[in-house]
C-alpha cells in the first residue's frame, strides 16, 4: 500500500513506530473496553482480538489476506531479543516501584477502595493498557523479523492461551514468576514434541497425536490453578536477600540447626 511500499526505515525506528501505533490503537480500544469489568472485560478483549484477525484476513490490499506478508528481512537476533527483554523488564520494575505502580496495585486489589482514596481508576488502567500495547507492538515487530513472515493465521486463540499459561503459572502479580514461566514454557514446548511423535514399546505402538503438547500444558495449568491459584511465585519477586534467607533456612533444616 502506498506510501508504505516505497519507504525504507531502519530496524530500530520501525520497532518504535510499531510500538507507538499499537499503543495508540490500545488507547482507542481502552475507552469501550474499560466500560465493563471482570469476566466481561476478558470477553471484550478477546472479541477485539478476533475482530482484528478477521479484518487482517480480509484486508488483502494491506495484509495480503490469509497468505500474509512474506519475505521480511531477518533483523531479529539474540542481541535484539535480549536487549529489548532487559529494557522492558527494567521499565516494568521502575513503573511497579513508582507512584503509578502503586496506583495500579491499588486498582488491582480493590478498584472501589482505590477510587475512594482519590485514584483515577480509568486513567490508571488506561496507562497500563497503553504501555502493554507499546511493548506488544515492539514484540510483534521482533517476531516478524525473526520468522520473516506475518499472517492472520498466527493471531488465534492458541497464542492467547499460551500467554495465559505463562501468566497464570508464573503468578498474576510477579514479574519474576512471569519470566520463569516464559522460559519454562518455551523450553517445555520443544521438549514435549516427543509426545506428538509415534512411539513403540515392544509390541505396543502408540501413534502420534498432534496437539498433545497443549493437552499437557492444559493439565499443568489446571493443577497450578487448583493447588497454587496465585502461581508459583504468587506476588513475590526475586531478591538476593530472599535467596540468601532461603538458603539459610534450607541449611538449618538440613543440619537441624
Of the listed ranges 19-23, 160-164, 205-209, the least confidently predicted one is 205-209
Q: What pLDDT is attached to residue 233?
A: 81
- The pLDDT tens digits for 170-213 are 887 788 888 888 888 888 888 888 777 777 777 777 777 777 88
Q: Whole domain around residue 216: which residue ranges?
A: 156-257
| 184 and 146 fall within a common domain | no
Last residue of a domain, one of 122, 153, 184: 153
| 2 and 76 fall within a common domain | yes
| 128 and 219 fall within a common domain | no
CB of 150 within 8 A of CB of 72? Answer: yes
Check pLDDT > 70 for residue 253. Answer: yes
| 8 and 103 fall within a common domain | yes
What CA–CA distance (Å, rounded) separates 257 from 252? Answer: 5
**Which residue in 100, 109, 129 sits closest to 35, CA to CA?**
129
| 132 and 174 fall within a common domain | no
CA distances for 104 relative to 93, 151, 168, angstroms: 13, 34, 19
| 253 and 173 fall within a common domain | yes
Check pLDDT > 60 for residue 124. Answer: yes
Q: What pLDDT is attached to residue 1?
A: 53
Mean of per-residue pLDDT scores for the chain: 84
Check pLDDT > 80 for residue 77. Answer: yes
94 or 68: which carries more pLDDT confidence? 94
| 191 and 137 fall within a common domain | no
| 57 and 141 fall within a common domain | yes
How many folded domains does the chain comprise?
2
| 80 and 198 fall within a common domain | no
What CA–CA distance (Å, rounded) separates 124 from 95? Answer: 12
| 111 and 227 fall within a common domain | no
Residue 247's pLDDT band, with cuts at 50, 70 and 90, is: confident
| 142 and 76 fall within a common domain | yes
**3-state secondary structure labels for all residues of 129-195:** HHHHHHHHHHHHHHHHHHHCEECHHHCCHHHHHHHHHHHHHHCCCCHHHHHHHHHHHHHHHHHHHHH
Last residue of a domain, one of 130, 153, 176: 153
Last residue of a domain, one of 153, 185, 217: 153
Q: What pLDDT is attached to residue 142?
A: 94
> 178 exposed, middle or buried (CB, 10 Å; 0-12, 13-18, 19+)?
buried
Residue 3's pLDDT band, with cuts at 50, 70 and 90, is: low
| 71 and 184 fall within a common domain | no
135: left (phi over 0), alpha (psi -120 to 50) or beta: alpha
CB of 103 within 8 A of CB of 119? Answer: yes
Q: What are the beta bridge partners of residue 69? A: 150
Residue 27's pLDDT band, with cuts at 50, 70 and 90, is: very high
Chain centroid, CA 246 distance in Å: 29
Amino acid at each position: 500500500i502506498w506510501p508504505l511500499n516505497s519507504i525504507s526505515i531502519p530496524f530500530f525506528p520501525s520497532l518504535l513506530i510499531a510500538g507507538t501505533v499499537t499503543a495508540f490503537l490500545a488507547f482507542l480500544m481502552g475507552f469501550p473496553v474499560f466500560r465493563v469489568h471482570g469476566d466481561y472485560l476478558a470477553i471484550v478483549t478477546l472479541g477485539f482480538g478476533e475482530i482484528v484477525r478477521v479484518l487482517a484476513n480480509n484486508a488483502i490490499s494491506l495484509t495480503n489476506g490469509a497468505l500474509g506478508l512474506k519475505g521480511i528481512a531477518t533483523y531479529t537476533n539474540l542481541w535484539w531479543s535480549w536487549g529489548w527483554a532487559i529494557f522492558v523488564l527494567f521499565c516494568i520494575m521502575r513503573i511497579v516501584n513508582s507512584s503509578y505502580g502503586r496506583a495500579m496495585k491499588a486498582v488491582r486489589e480493590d478498584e472501589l477502595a482505590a477510587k475512594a482514596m482519590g485514584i483515577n481508576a480509568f486513567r490508571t488502567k488506561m496507562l497500563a493498557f497503553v504501555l502493554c500495547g507499546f511493548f506488544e507492538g515492539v514484540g510483534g515487530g521482533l517476531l516478524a523479523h525473526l520468522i520473516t513472515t506475518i499472517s492472520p493465521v498466527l493471531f488465534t486463540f492458541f497464542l492467547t492461551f499460551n500467554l495465559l499459561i505463562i501468566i497464570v503459572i508464573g503468578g498474576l502479580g510477579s514479574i519474576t514468576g512471569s519470566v520463569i514461566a516464559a522460559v519454562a514454557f518455551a523450553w517445555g514446548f520443544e521438549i514435549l514434541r516427543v509426545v506428538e511423535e509415534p512411539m513403540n514399546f515392544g509390541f505396543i505402538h502408540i501413534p502420534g497425536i498432534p496437539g498433545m503438547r497443549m493437552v499437557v500444558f492444559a493439565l499443568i495449568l489446571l493443577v497450578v490453578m487448583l493447588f497454587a491459584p496465585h502461581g508459583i511465585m504468587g506476588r513475590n519477586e526475586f531478591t538476593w536477600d530472599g535467596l540468601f534467607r532461603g538458603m539459610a533456612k534450607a541449611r538449618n533444616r538440613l543440619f537441624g540447626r
